[in-house]
Amino acid sequence: MKFGWISPAIGPPESDFVPLVKYQDDHIFPSILQQFDSVWVCDHFYGFDRKTDPFLEGFTALTWLAARHPNVLLGHHVLGVGYRSPALTAKMAGTLQALSGGRFVLGIGAGWREDEYRRYGWPFPKASVRIAQLDEAVQLIRRMWTEEAPTFTGKHFQITEAYAPPLPKPVPPVMIGGSGEQLMLPLVGRQADWWNTTAGRGLDAFKQKRDIVFRSAETAGRDPSKIVLTVTREAPLPTTSQDSQTWLDWIGTYAAAGVSHILGDFGHVTSTEPVLRFVEEVMTPLRQG
């Protein structure tokens, strides 16, 4: 089992409006981030409860983390396909892959926050169109990562001999985030190296969605066992051994369902004590097991 740390880019009042990723880098990461396998930053532009809360741009923040922490995988949780042209995303991702020494995972999804799109002047088409855009974007991005002079002609995106040296080595895995059963999960099965979903609806719902992904992969001629299954859990770190056992029990059920990477959104962490407890009482037993 591998473990990822989701570091919020928002700066709420509880942190004196310092973006939590900056607060955590100052106070938490120096002693604990090396215990985790990956670190993730979300992709939004302003706050939720309060739109005036500071909110760091995701690609810039992740590049900063890549320079400061050289031993973890890096990814977004997840990029909105409509926020950047896929050609620009491909070039930015290739650059970060080169500068990070091959540690980048391209986390990307169809986008969902309509008001954010509208306020920034980006079109927000219906879900089926956004998912079709995501499908084309992944194809285009992979061409720009692997071909010297890639050309792609789709319904939504086009490039013509879009040179993007240096080509990233290794080619970053693509993690698609989403859970829609009609269109998104079949796309995951066809295209994704990794799949991310939330744990909000429980294990049975996860298994149902996983099976849709697997069937789609098989139909596309892919080996479903090669898709890395990741689940995000938004929950506080343990403060007692009983809390740790709850985490162990929860992770154990998802591990039995094929999940190999847990992404934890722990909120505003102000002390390393619960992190060290999580490492010692949750992460270590699962890794040893």
Phi (first) and psi of residue 46, to 5 degrees: -155, 170
CA distances, 5 to each of 2, 35, 136, 177, 263 (Å): 10, 10, 29, 16, 6
Task: Tell me which of 289 and 62 has the higher pLDDT.
Answer: 62
Interval 184-229: pLDDT, tens: 999 999 999 999 999 988 999 999 999 999 999 999 999 999 999 9
pLDDT digits (tens, 9 = 90+) for 126-182: 999 999 999 999 999 999 999 999 999 999 999 999 999 999 999 999 999 999 999
- Write down the residue that tokens 């989701």 correspond to: 6
Determine what percent of the chain is predicted with pLDDT higher than 90.
98
Q: What is the pTM of this model?
A: 0.97
Which of 46, 54, 45 is closest to 13 using CA atoms? 54
Q: Give domain limits for the chain.
A: 2-288
Summary mean pLDDT of the chain? 97
Averaged over 21-48, what is the pLDDT? 97
Per-residue pLDDT at 90 exceeds 90: yes
Confidence check: pLDDT of 288 > 90: no
**Mean pLDDT for the stretch of residues 80-103:** 98
Element (H, E) at 277: helix 273-278
Q: What is the pLDDT of residue 228?
A: 98
What are the tens digits of pLDDT across the range 92-136?
A: 999 999 999 999 999 999 999 999 999 999 999 999 999 999 999
Q: What is the pLDDT, as a whole number, of residue 224?
A: 98
Token pair for 157:
């995106």
Helix (H) or strand (E) holding 24: helix 20-27
Q: Does 236 have pLDDT greater than 90?
A: yes
Q: How far apart are CA 23 and CA 26, in angstroms?
A: 5
Beta strands in the chain (DSSP E): 2-6, 38-41, 73-76, 79-80, 104-109, 152-153, 158-159, 174-177, 194-198, 228-234, 259-265
The answer, yes or no, to whether residue 289 has pLDDT greater than 90, is no
Cα distances from 216 to residues 107, 128, 185, in angstroms, run 20, 17, 8
Q: Which single residue is written with the structure tokens 């954010």?
A: 116
For the 2-288 domain, the top CATH level (class) is alpha beta
